[in-house]
Amino acid sequence: MASKNLIQSVAVTAELCGGTQLSDLAAKAFLEDLSGYPEAGVLTALARCRKELTGRLTVAAVIQRIPGGRPGPEEAWAIASKGGTSESITKVWTQEIFAAFVEVQEIYDTEGPIPARMAFKEIYARHVAEAQATGRPVEWQITLGHDTAGRAPAIERAIVAGYISAQDVPSHLLHLVALPTLAPKDALRLAANHGIALPEPRPAQADPEGVDLHLRKIREILGVAE
């Protein structure tokens, strides 16, 4: 059941975006369409809608702005087309991006990226519309490429971009993710999710030689004798 805060946020956003006054039935349907998504993410998306939309509020507009939600067509193409059709590239993508790219691979290989991009955007939009119509939540998946060296960076970039969270990394792929490269909160969540003991932080140690060198440089700049 939607919280009071979410209900009010939907109503306010609908009114600010196009001046729509939602009826109780319309508000109920609107909230049901968003029920498969985390409330915090929906609230963030609604805030973006208030800042970005110039027309009427729609469920699709909200879903597109949910952190970790379905990307727009251009962003989806950028994800799918990275590395072309090479199977050496590790990709983190949604079911809809994957399905659409599979359908245009032959076009990509025979006619090039521009015709493939045009076809991809149309096919991807259809897949997204079908998913939204059935209320299927977004699901990101990791497809490992043959290039083992590129696996960890691809997964880490997806975490930083917000496509997946640290908790979404499967246990059998955990060894690919270097905790020090992640933001502290992501590293902690990833470690907690998989029972990893992180090292205790070391207290800062004074560096007398470094301090003395820094002071000497300051004195030189100021022309002060030691």
List the pLDDT tens digit at each of the 226 positions of the chain: 788 899 999 999 999 998 889 999 999 999 988 887 778 888 999 998 999 888 889 887 888 788 756 888 888 999 999 998 889 999 999 999 999 999 999 999 999 999 999 999 999 999 988 887 787 878 888 898 999 888 888 888 887 776 776 667 777 676 665 544 444 444 445 445 544 444 444 444 444 555 555 555 555 544 545 5
Q: Report if residue 36 sits inside a domain.
A: yes
Q: Which residues contact 7 (CB under 8 A, 6 or more apart)?
A: 27, 31
What is the domain count for the chain?
A: 2
Instruction: Select from 117, 145, 162 the last residue of a domain.
Output: 162
Does one domain contain both 125 and 153? yes
Rounded to the nearest 5°, which phi and psi values hold at 43? -65, -40
Does one domain contain both 94 and 156? yes
Does one domain contain both 77 and 60? no
The structure tokens listed for 22 are: 């939602």
Does one domain contain both 96 and 125? yes
Specify whether the CB–CB gap between 150 and 88 falls below 8 A. Answer: yes
Q: What is the pLDDT of residue 204?
A: 44
Q: Report if residue 193 sits inside a domain.
A: no
Does one domain contain both 153 and 121? yes
Q: Report if residue 130 sits inside a domain.
A: yes
Q: What is the pLDDT of residue 118?
A: 96
Q: What is the pLDDT of residue 182?
A: 46
Does one domain contain both 58 and 88? no
pTM score: 0.55
The structure tokens listed for 103 are: 């359908």
Indicate the burial class of 121 (C-beta count within 10 angstroms; 0-12, 13-18, 19 or more): middle
Alpha-carbon distance of 187 to 101, in angstroms, equals 31
Closest CA to 80 of 103, 101, 110, 64: 101
Q: Report if residue 215 sits inside a domain.
A: no
Q: What is the pLDDT of residue 69?
A: 66
Beta bridge partners of 142: 92
Q: Report if residue 216 sits inside a domain.
A: no
Q: Report if residue 18 sits inside a domain.
A: yes
Does one domain contain both 28 and 59? yes
Helix axis angle, 4-16 to 39-52, nearest 10°:
20
* Degrees to nearest 5, angle at CA 65 with 185 and 6: 85
**Residue 128 belongs to what domain range?**
73-162
